[in-house]
Every structure is written in structure tokens, then in C-alpha cells.
Amino acid sequence: MNVRCAHRWAFSAFGGALAERTDDLSAPSGDEATVRVTHCGICHSDLHFVAGGFDLGQGQKTSITRAGATLPLTMGHEIAGELVELGPQAGHAPASIGERVVVYPWIGCGACGACERGDDHLCTKVSRNLGLQLPGGYADLVRVPHARYLVPIGTLDPARAATLACAGITAMGAIGKLGPLTAEHRVAVIGCGGVGMTAVALLKATTPAQVIAIDADAAKRAAALSYGAASAYDPAEADVARAIQKANGFDIAAALDFVGSETSSALAVALVRRTGHVVIVGLFGGEFRMPLPMFALRSLRISGSYVGSLADLRALVALAQRIALPPTPLHLRPLAQVNEALADMAAGRFVGRTVLLP
């Protein structure tokens, strides 16, 4: 097989702009696969990757370098495209050459207990995430370390399918943490960006629960209502937690925090009833503070949720093929506009998800 040229948009310094570069891409070996990227979603995490890490509060930050990322870094982990080449040992691949696929990007070492259980995303050893430790989908070609991470999408819109790989499975994974939901359950969704809006849509499509949408942006609140939320609130309103509780009979069973800031997590904790469940998903950053006796007195459950498994992605693609998920807004832009698109996301200038077209 010939060596191909991959055209990638990468940053070479933290906080710097992305620039186009050309890298040789040798033929896939072993179980590897090469995918021609047709669509790649921009995730909010990418803003943190460019900055070098996530805010831990008190001036501390995680380091993506410590997590195994190297510069120049090609981001992009919501990848849909066409399978163009398979390694010699990838005959068992779930997709055939020319087939359209979405790529599972949360790849682990493949050998630890978590990976053996199918929880690559919770790998305890060496993560090989696409768009972080390995070059991602802000490119025309992407190398996938094993063909099993390809999920055929059939007739699904590839722009929408791409967003399932992070926004979709993150929303699904967080909802899954709540267990079975009935019509009596009220679930607050805090933060209605790409992931939160997907959660509103998935909750509506797959459960009878009543959804309370919370976002500072009026356009996002309106969109959440159109996707089935029973009510929507601006968190900046005075005494908002009390108003939401009152309107819901002080009976909110769970809150999904897709922001993950100090104020959003505090609101989530304030909203839920006794025995309520708060799931923190967003990675905005900061510290979580709570008086210790409240865990017992309110019998609260506070948990976290991080992306989802390969099985989650397969299930979500199958679900999207079976039922019409309410479509969250998508903005399609040429890959060459990636810097402008990231700046627009940082400024919160749109509702929904931006998908880049290489």
C-alpha cells in the first residue's frame, strides 16, 4: 500500500492557533484502520486541550502533557468518515472498505482490567484517545489503532453521527447513571450546550421523565423546550433554586450538571430532593464544596460520569437508526475555519454543535 499524506490542523503551543501541516501516513499495520474524515465535531473539551488542561480550582490545572499528549497536537474526537484502508490482520473489522463509520475515540491500552471489561474510556494504564494522545479528526485522514473501534452508521447523517462519539455517549452515559426513570421523576439538566441539549433530547426520546432545562442563554432555553423539556430557567435569576424547587413541588429526583462549575454544581445540589442524585459531567472546572453533614442528612448521591464505552456508542448508533432522535442544531463549517469556530465556541456564540468538514 502507498504512503498517504494526512493534512492535519494542529496547535504547536498551548493557547496558540491551529495551523495546517502535512504528515506521512504509512499503510495501516496489524489491526489498524485508516478513515477518510468527512465530518468532525468540535467539543468544548478541545478548548481545554488548547489551554493545556482542565481547571482544578485554586490556580491548579490538569496537564494534558502529563496525560500523554504531545505537541503538535491534532484534536478532534467526534469523527465520522469513510473506511479507506485496513491492516493485514483487520479482516474481522465491523466495517468494510468504503463504508461510512463513526469512530470510537476513547481508546485505552487494550490490556488492563477496565479495557478487558470493554471500558476503554476508564483505562487504568495508558490512554490512546484520538484527538489527545493520538492525532484526531481535525484532518482529512485519521489512523485508528484497531478496527473494532469503527461503528458503521448506515444511512445516518454523518454530521449527526459524528457528534454521537462524544456529546452523544456523554449524555447517554450520564442518563444511564440515574437508573430506570418513570413519569414521576423530574430531572434537571444544567447547561444546554451540545451535550446538555443531547441529554434533553435523549431523556425525552427514551424515558418518560419530566425534564427541567437550565441555561443562561434564552435561545438555548427555547431550543430545550422545543426538544421536550417541560420547563426552562435562567440560572442567573434571583433565588432561582427556590423558584425551580417550588414550581416542581420540591420533588426533583436528579440533576445532571453538564457545566461542571462551582456555581452549577452548587445549583445541582440545591435543586435535588432528599435521596436526590447529582451527576457531574461538565469539565468547566473549579472545586466542589459542601457541608459534610448534608451528605447524610439529605441522603444525597453525588457521582461523576465521563464519556461512555464502545458498547454505548454502538447502542446509541442503533438507537439513532431505530427512532428519530430530536435533532440538536448543527453548524457545518469548513475545517480551514477551525480557529474561528473554536473562538465562536469559546464566546458561546451559537446553540448546538459545530461540525467541521475537511
Contact call for residues 191 and 167 (beta carbons, < 8 A): no
Residue nearest to Zn ion (CB): 43
Least separation, in Å, of the C-beta of 285 and Zn ion?
A: 15
Q: What is the rounded CA–CA span in Å between residue 14 and residue 51?
A: 5
How many of the chain's residues bind Zn ion (CB under 5 A)?
9
Q: Which amino acid is at 63?
A: S
Contact call for residues 50 and 8 (beta carbons, < 8 A): no
Residue 338 main-chain phi, psi, to 5 deg: -60, -40
E strands within the chain?
4-11, 18-25, 33-41, 55-57, 60-61, 78-86, 100-103, 141-144, 150-152, 186-190, 210-214, 231-233, 254-257, 277-280, 301-304, 330-334, 353-357
Q: What is the rounded CA–CA span in Å between residue 285 and residue 299?
A: 25
Q: What is the rounded CA–CA span in Å between residue 250 and residue 246?
A: 6
- The interface region with Zn ion, picked from 29-37, 39-47, 87-95, 250-258 by CB under 5 A, is 39-47
Nearer to Zn ion, 125 or 242 (CB): 125
Least separation, in Å, of the C-beta of 201 and Zn ion?
A: 17
Is residue 109 a contact point for Zn ion (CB under 5 A)?
yes
Contact call for residues 267 and 235 (beta carbons, < 8 A): yes
CA neighbor of 158 nearest in space, from 98, 81, 43:
81
- List 117, 125, 274, 289, residue binding Zn ion (CB under 5 A): 125
Q: Which amino acid is at 275?
A: T
Least separation, in Å, of the C-beta of 128 and Zn ion?
A: 9
| Cell output for 222 | 427555547
Binding mask 181-220 for Zn ion (x = CB under 5 A): ----------------------------------------
- The interface region with Zn ion, picked from 18-26, 41-49, 235-243, 281-289 by CB under 5 A, is 41-49
Nearer to Zn ion, 195 or 253 (CB): 195
Least separation, in Å, of the C-beta of 27 and Zn ion?
A: 26
Least separation, in Å, of the C-beta of 72 and Zn ion?
A: 20
Is residue 313 a contact point for Zn ion (CB under 5 A)?
no
Is residue 43 a contact point for Zn ion (CB under 5 A)?
yes
Nearer to Zn ion, 166 or 224 (CB): 166
Least separation, in Å, of the C-beta of 67 and Zn ion?
A: 14
Distance of CA 69 to the CA centre of its chain: 19
Compute CA distances 135 → 6, 94, 102, 248, 353, whole Å: 10, 22, 16, 46, 21
Nearer to Zn ion, 297 or 343 (CB): 343
Contact call for residues 214 and 191 (beta carbons, < 8 A): yes
| Cell output for 211 | 425534564
- List 25, 37, 93, 115, residue binding Zn ion (CB under 5 A): 115
Is residue 244 a contact point for Zn ion (CB under 5 A)?
no
- Contacts with Zn ion in 127-166 (CB under 5 A)? 166
Nearer to Zn ion, 42 or 200 (CB): 42
- List 105, 108, 137, 173, residue binding Zn ion (CB under 5 A): 108
Is residue 123 a contact point for Zn ion (CB under 5 A)?
yes
Contact call for residues 165 and 79 (beta carbons, < 8 A): yes
- List 34, 45, 129, 210, residue binding Zn ion (CB under 5 A): 45
Is residue 112 a contact point for Zn ion (CB under 5 A)?
yes
Is residue 122 a contact point for Zn ion (CB under 5 A)?
no
Residues that bind Zn ion (CB under 5 A): 43, 45, 108-109, 112, 115, 123, 125, 166
